[in-house]
Amino acid sequence: MSNLTAVNEAGSPAADIPASISSNPDAWFEQKFREQMEKREAEHTPGMAIVVTKGTLDWAYPPFILASTAAALGWDVSLFFTFYGLELLKKDLQLEVSPLGNPAMPMKMPFGPQWLQNINWNMPNALMAGVPGFEKVATALMKKTVSNKGVASIEELRSLCLEAEVQMVACQMTVDLFNYSPDDFIPEVSEWVGAASFLPTAQQADVTLFI
């Protein structure tokens, strides 16, 4: 016999408790708990935190694409730019791509017949290292390919993120390490903090990524 049932039989004020509760209090509490959790989930705004560490053209796309997409879905998004990732916060973006040491990266020809554009030109590292100006050629080819496919530029993606109120956080330690000046970066940087200040944001986020 449950405590609630015992109290009811004793004729105390608990006699006003509905029979559905007194007969099965565990089920009632489970139902109320489930309802509260569903309400909390419905009212919860998902969060994403991304630690951005790369400063090349190819590695600039993932964080900005993910951040802009999550923001478009109504998520709260914070990007923590540290080490070479700070290059993505500069006013003047001079990003290049380096296929050297990245055998998985194919070279694409953004011109000519379609069969030529479909070929993955996997260049040997020895060739790439020995040809002067190879990185600039690779950068130009990638920018042209991106443009031909209608993919937004890094500048455009960054602007979309800022319009969607994505938080751009700069690592103060890296700024000091590389002797950067705040004037080097876009004015929309929301904070200049260390890792210890950003980690609680990453901990509370529903999705945390390291790129």
Find the CATH number of the domain harbouring 70: 3.40.1260.10
**Alpha helices, DSSP H, located in 44-171:** 57-72, 114-117, 125-130, 134-148, 154-163
CA distance 155 to 10: 74
Q: Are 59 and 87 in contact (CB under 8 A)?
A: no
The structural domain count of the chain equals 2
Q: Position 105: which residue type?
A: M
Neighbour-count burial of 135, counting CB atoms closer than 10 A to its CB (0-12 exposed, 13-18 middle, 19+ buried): middle
pLDDT tens string, the chain, 211 residues long: the values are: 445 444 445 445 555 566 666 677 777 667 766 766 666 666 679 999 999 999 999 899 999 999 999 999 999 999 999 999 999 999 999 898 876 666 666 666 676 677 666 766 666 554 555 566 667 877 888 888 888 888 899 999 999 999 999 999 999 999 999 999 989 999 999 999 999 999 999 999 999 999 9
Q: What are the φ/ψ torsions at residue 144 (nearest 5 degrees)?
A: -70, -40
Cβ atoms < 10 Å from Cβ of 205: 18
State whether 104 and 202 are in the same domain. Answer: yes
Q: State the pLDDT at residue 1.
A: 46
State whether 144 and 72 are in the same domain. Answer: yes
State whether 31 and 57 are in the same domain. Answer: no
State whether 36 and 75 are in the same domain. Answer: no
The angle formed by the CA atoms of residues 20, 25 and 31, to the nearest 5 degrees, is 85
Beta strand residue intervals within 8-62, DSSP E: 47-52
The residue whose two tokens read 């130009």 is: 140
Host domain of residue 119? 47-210
State whether 114 and 61 are in the same domain. Answer: yes
Q: State the pLDDT at residue 142.
A: 82
The residue whose two tokens read 């109504």 is: 74
Which residues, 6+ apart, have CB-to-CB distance to 164 below 8 Å? 68, 71, 72, 77
State whether 180 and 76 are in the same domain. Answer: yes
State whether 14 and 72 are in the same domain. Answer: no
